[in-house]
Structure 1
Amino acid sequence: MSGDYKTLVGQITINSHIGFTLALAKDVGIIDALVISDTPLTTSDIAKQKHLKERYVQEILGCLVSVGFVNVKQHESLNRYYISSEGKEVWQVGGFRSSVLFINALMEAYNPVKSCVFADGPYGVNYGAGLMRALDESKTGSENTIKLILGACQGLKERLEEGISVTELGSGWGRTIGQLATLFPKSKFIASDYSDELVNALKAKWGHLANISFAKLDACHLPTNSIDSVDWIFVIDVIHDLPHPVKALEGIQQMLDKERGLFTAIEIVGSGCHALDAKNLGAAQMYSMSTFLCLPESFQNEDSEAHGACWSKELTVEEFKSAGFCVDVVDLEGSEGREILLICKPVKS
């Protein structure tokens, strides 16, 4: 039995080491160079193309060849490297690419989060640039996200075509709202986030669109004196990252048009029970990411709820309802129950 435990620890440790190298290879462009090339490349080819030091390219490829991510063949005394056609298909899937970039985000967060764990350390830290990049990459499939939301919300597409007001909270780099603004020119969109840096990034990326404006908004301290109500507010993987979700949800409810207002939220959920998650690698991954990313973002002070990414679907729905919403829940296909769409309308008094 102790041998099984030793094997498990050893394998997880080895996989972690390889994962760090894989993330580095993706981040500096080695993977991209191999994916787009129709012919095998030498380390010199890759180094010149991506402006890298060849010696580092050699060592990184040594790891990737050893584990089987990259293939190598010798030709005229030179090693030439390539990724199989099957491998290229995998790398072209947005969600897979972003999962590798999340490793970078975890590495970036390691020391700040380590200080938070100690009793006399800070409670939390805000997201870094590495996570924002990974999140943006994960939304390369935002066309599917838009299709999902429009398909689940009856009449929303038609309203967008006619022209309504739309606000996204926690836009990040704005890939989803930017595509919506492009698809529906008659509607008016507000992209928002809580920092000047992110708002400026949104302006730089989407400022050319006439029907989109930008705002610095803290979801837990939304304006209460706005004259204009909003027809549709949406968030993607935001609510569990907030220190006070119910307070934020109550603020969102107040911003919505009371007659036809719609709020949609895509949320990550788990079982909410460690015993139920025992020996579940998918759950282990989510707890790990939550430890380094979601928990520190939401644990901003002593009284933060700090749910993390593994809060249960039941608790999620309960908090949405307690904020004054009627809620319908759609389980997202392919997420194995770990991601849901909440379709919310204000309870009419």
Structure 2
Amino acid sequence: MDTAVTAPAIDQARLEAFAMRAIGDIASAYTGVMVNLGHQLGLYKAMLGAGPLSSQELAQRSGCAERYVREWLNAQAASGYLDFHAASETYELGAEQALVLADEDSPVFIPPAWNMPASMWADEPKTLEAFRTGRGVAWGEHDGRMACGVAAFYRNGYRASLVPQWLPALEGVVAQLEAGIAVADIGCGHGHSTLLMAEAFPNSRFFGYDTHAESIAEARRHAAAAGLAARAEFDLARATSYPDRRFGLICFFDVLHDLGDPVAAAEHAARVLAPGGTVMLVEPFARDRTEDNLTPVGQLYYGGSTIICCAHAISEGGRMVLGAQAGPKRLAEVFRKAGFTHFRCAAETPFNLVFEVRR
């Protein structure tokens, strides 16, 4: 019997296009290293509002060696992160680029996000073992840059949207916060979301819970520095065991899909929710069908979900491993199983879906 396998015909144009796409992805990874250098060394800050600068001028302003600075500038210009003026051989950080690279309060400030892929590379041995054995990797087992990168990346997005947009999209919640209720922030991390609400609503009390001790310690430091420790408390607790304070609002900010048993977390929320209370569920933007998530945002979230979200859920027993691209139907089913009867998408951004959930 002839068992020879016929080689598939190769579309040369498609091959070349895909190879260039792969090279582009490698180049973007290099760019991430350059962005982190620019952030850590203060190069972007030195260029902010300065107009066109030569490599020598930037070296003097930043206190760095000119030959390194020159090569870094060319790398940034080649990637489109800086503008190059050929006539004067100078480089400029434009206003739009500055919002992304230099303004630490901008909702699109991106440099800290590069800590996450750096952590993924550092954690490669753990990930390889997880793939081969099926075991989980808990949040606290990751390289320390993971928690710092995630906290800094989400902080500005929450600052831009949480109080002015997301909370007002929930029926009656702002009035309750102004009058004074207890609020739980589940998986609070470094406490940025908790403190944004505490600052905006002084009559309410806020309680942040997380299983990562280092993040809780950091949240307490942030609260003290902001003068909010009297009305924002942070404690170690799981999503299924934090204290019953008859919460008027329970928040899950980009965390439900990380949990090993999201239904149990929703059931606990139902037990400790005050009559007339609301669960605010914020999740990564996703549609219900895989084919509708094959986008740059999906690429980002599926990659992060592989290394971080699914791995942590599995470390917690993995009864239901949602992943970061769960989609509205699967999320609604979680709360339906927990006894909730109201599930509504209240707001969305290119990166998040915000749901209003009630019993």
Q: TM-score range by the shorter chain?
A: 0.7 to 0.9
* Residues 1:241 and 2:261 are matched in the alignment: no
Deviates most, 170-179 or 67-76: 67-76
Aligned counterpart, 1:64: 76
The Cα shift of 1:232 comes to 1.2
User: Alignment partner for residue 320 of structure 2, among 283, 302, 305?
Assistant: 305
Where structure 1 has 5 or more consecutive residues not aligned to the other structure, the ranges are none
With over 3 angstroms needed to count, the CA separation of the structure-2 counterparts of 1:216 and 1:277, relative to structure 1, is closer
Following the alignment from structure 1 to structure 2, what is the Cα–Cα distance between the partners of residues 200 and 86? 35
TM-score with structure 2 length normalisation? 0.82
**Between the two proteins, what is the percent identity of the paired residues?**
19
Aligned length: 336
Which one-letter code corresponds to 1:309 in the other structure?
Answer: A
- Name whichever of 111-120 and 174-183 sits farther off: 111-120
> In structure 2, the residue corresponding to 1:231 is in which secondary structure?
strand
Structure 2 equivalent of residue 17 of structure 1: 27
1:184-214 Cα shifts (integer Å, max 9, x gaps): 1111111222122111101111122121111
Report 1:123-272 matches (<5 A): 123-126=136-139, 127-135=142-150, 136-141=152-157, 142-207=159-224, 208-209=227-228, 210-219=230-239, 221-223=240-242, 226=243, 228-257=245-274, 259-272=275-288
1:325 is paired with a residue whose SS is coil
| Per-residue CA distance 1:201-234 (angstroms, 9 max, x = gap) | 0111112212111111221x414xx463222111
Cα offset, 1:245, TM superposition: 0.9
Q: 2:133 aligned with 1:120, yes or no?
A: yes
2:8 — aligned with what?
none
Partners of 2:307 and 2:193 in 1: CA distance = 25
SS at match of 1:60: helix
Q: Distance in 2 between matches of 1:4 and 1:319?
A: 42
| Residue 314 (structure 1) shift | 0.8
Q: TM-score, normalised by structure 1?
A: 0.84
What is the CA–CA distance in structure 2 between the aligned matches of 1:162 and 1:326, rounded to whole Å?
A: 26
CA deviation string 1:279-304 (max 9, x = no partner): x4442232222223322232216644
**Quick check: 1:328 aligned with 2:359?**
no
CA pair 163-271 structure 1, distance change in 2 beyond 3 A = closer
Letter in 1 for 2:123: P
Q: CA deviation at 1:29?
A: 4.4
- Mapped partners of 1:128, 1:111: distance in 2: 7
**Alpha-carbon shift at residue 175 of structure 1 (Å):** 1.8
CA contact (8 A) 1:115 1:122 kept: no
Deviations 1:269-327 (A, max 9, x none): 5345445555x444223222222332223221664432211123211111111112123
Q: Deviations over 1:3-39 (max 9, x none)?
A: 3133223223333323333432454245632552323
Kept in 2: contact 1:34–1:40 (CA 8 A): no
Instruction: Give the 3-state SS of the residue equivalent to 1:299 in structure 2.
Output: helix
